[in-house]
Structure 1
Amino acid sequence: MPDLGGAVQSFVLAFSALFSIVNPIGAALVFSQVTAERTHAERLVLARRIGVYAVAIMLGALWLGSYVLEFFGVTLAALRIAGGLVVATRAWSLLMAPEVIEARKQEQAGDSTGRPDDAFFPLTMPFTTGPGSISVAIALGANRPPGGLGTILPFFAGISAAALAVAVTVWLAYSSADRLTGLLGEARARVLSRLAAFLMLCVGTQITLNGAIDVLRPLLAAR
């Protein structure tokens, strides 16, 4: 019997963190500006390609990132603690100084010149899913529960579904960038970004706590 509760919990945890760091709503406002000279049909194609590239990058980091680091001798507990701190630090930056993050993203997306490969670079990497998103995804993958396939499979199903949901949100937000710009505006988008960043801060704290518990459990049991 699949652990649906574990899958749902993993989905909620991963979706809140990935949505916060990718920030499809805020990114869509920048996307609208840097693609203003393109036709609506061209932007729809770009949005679809960016969504596909984004889910591939996030799934790769979620599935393989923590295993690659473990191969080089980094323990799962260390991965969780370091990954959680990275997530929390990024969230704190988004919460306290979103303007700095927005300016950096604007600069990254500004390299778009209308080439056919713009969908991947720079509009997917690093603008939509850059190093910050990849590090968050690796941290989430490292937060996998102990146990056999009965617990690990629901976990990876949940976080994979979250990555897919975020990529679909990116596709929809970028496809509707003009409407979002008129509906939300910069101020409302920043409010949503701060709310999402607070959720991400909570997620990072929880991942760090899980890693600390992994380290302390055998020490406490030995006493």
Structure 2
Amino acid sequence: MEDIIKAFFTSFAGLLLILLPISNPIGMAPNFLFYTEAIHNESRRIVAKKVALLSFSFSVGILIAGPPLLRFFGIDVSFIRISGGLLLAISGWQILSSEGNSSSNYSDKNKDAHKKIKTLKDRIFFPIVFPVTVGSGSVAIIITMATDYFHGSFKAYIMVASYIGGAAALFVNAFLFYICYKYSREIFSHVGKTGTIVICKISAFILIAIGLQVAWGGFYNVIIELFKVLKSANLL
């Protein structure tokens, strides 16, 4: 029993402490506010709940199926970081280069709220859930931790406890996103409309920087591996 408890809390604390600085719920709140600017607060809170649930489900799916799928298709985690990082940077650029009034991205004043919400529903998974909420950095971390769970012990019950601990960490992470997204309007209402736009633009710029950093990390790993291969083949 002691081994099970230790495995649970080790995986829970390990994943959560590594994941939170990368996922950054409070830092992503302005981006969520940008995408939901055209709807009222009650609808925004419903969307926040859906995003949190989808993010949790998506993350758990990655935790369980990520490593086997990568091995099956022969994909290295570095390429996940490259592609996901570029997607994250593109999402940030779309926000940064948009008009100041984000509601123009959905519809003008002559269109009804139903059309606004319908347009938003098409955006819930991409780009709000992925890559804004669950970015490529988070995906790479989850897959790396899941690989450690799978190979870390030959005892099935230890491995299961580790997976449950990891899932619990993902739940806490998703819940923090729900809180930050749900109250994003209240959080930024004190700075006014112009201040909110400025915060969104700054956050979008940071999103681009994070995406490029994640992508560069993938490129760097690929370059290092390439040099190792060339050196082992006496080509360097």
For the structure 1 residues 17 and 40, does the alpha-carbon distance in structure 2 shift closer, same or farther, using more than 3 Å as the test? same
Count of aligned positions: 178
Aligned counterpart in structure 1 of residue 174 of structure 2, from 158, 167, 177 = 167
2-structure distance, mates of 1:104, 1:18:
23
Provide the C-alpha distance between the structure 1 equivalents of 2:35 and 2:23, rounded to a whole number of angstroms.
17
Per-residue CA deviation, residues 196-216 of structure 1 (Å, 9 max, x unaligned), is x9xxxxxxxxxxxxxxxxxxx
Q: Deviation of residue 72 (structure 1)?
A: 4.9
One-letter identity of the residue aligned with 1:58: S
Q: Displacement of 1:33 after TM fit?
A: 3.0
Quote the residue 1:26 is aligned against. Answer: 27
Which position in structure 2 is the counterpart of 1:203?
none
Query: Could you tell me how far apart the structure 2 residues matched to 1:133 and 1:112 are?
Result: 27
Quote the offset at 1:71 in angstroms.
3.6
Is the 1:47–1:171 Cα contact (8 Å) retained in structure 2?
yes
Instruction: Give the match for residue 121 of structure 1.
Output: 126
Tell me how far apart the structure 1 counterparts of residues 12 and 94 of structure 2 sit (CA, whole Å).
26
TM-score normalised over the length of structure 2: 0.61
Q: Give distance in 2, aligned partners of 1:14 and 1:180.
A: 27
After superposing the two structures, state which structure 1 stretch, 56-65 or 176-185, moved more: 176-185
* Residue identity matched to 2:177: V
Distance across 1 between alignment mates of 2:92 and 2:4: 42
Distance in 2 (alpha carbons) for counterparts of 1:108 and 1:58: 29
Q: Is the partner of 1:121 in helix, strand or coil? A: helix
Alignment deviations for residues 141-194 of structure 1 (CA, whole Å, 9 cap, x no partner)? 1121222113201110110101111111111110011233357995xx98xx9x
1:152 is matched with: 159
Does 2:134 correspond to 1:133? no
Contact 1:35/1:43, CA 8 A, preserved across alignment: yes
TM-score (norm 1): 0.64
Residue 125 of structure 1 aligns to a residue whose secondary structure is helix
Q: Any residues of structure 2 matched to 1:49-198 within 5 Å, and which?
A: 49-72=50-73, 103-104=92-93, 106=95, 113=106, 114=116, 115=119, 116-144=121-149, 145-181=152-188
User: CA separation of 1:179/1:102 partners in 2, compared to 1, >3 Å: closer, same or farther?
Assistant: farther
Write the distance in 1 (CA, Å) between the matches of 2:63 and 2:21: 16
Separation in structure 2 between the aligned mates of residue 105 and residue 142 of structure 1, nearest angstrom: 34
User: Residues 34 and 148 from structure 1, CA distance in 2 versus in 1: closer, same or farther, beyond 3 angstroms?
Assistant: same
Tell me how far apart the structure 1 counterparts of residues 160 and 128 of structure 2 sit (CA, whole Å): 32
Unmatched tracts of structure 1, length 5 or more: 91-99, 198-223
Structure 2 gaps of 5+ residues are 107-115, 211-236
Work out which of the two has the higher radius of gyration on C-alpha atoms and give 1 or 2: 2
Alignment of structure 1 residues 30-41 onto 2, 5 Å: 30-41=31-42
Write out per-residue CA displacement over residues 19-51 of structure 1, whole angstroms, 9 at most, x where no aligned residue. 222211111122223322210011011101100
RMSD: 3.9
Paired residues of 1:108 and 1:127 also in contact (CA < 8 A) = no
The equivalent of 2:44 in structure 1 is: 43
User: For the residues of structure 1 that align with 2:93 and 2:20, how far apart are their CA atoms?
Assistant: 18
Name the residue aligned to 2:13. 12
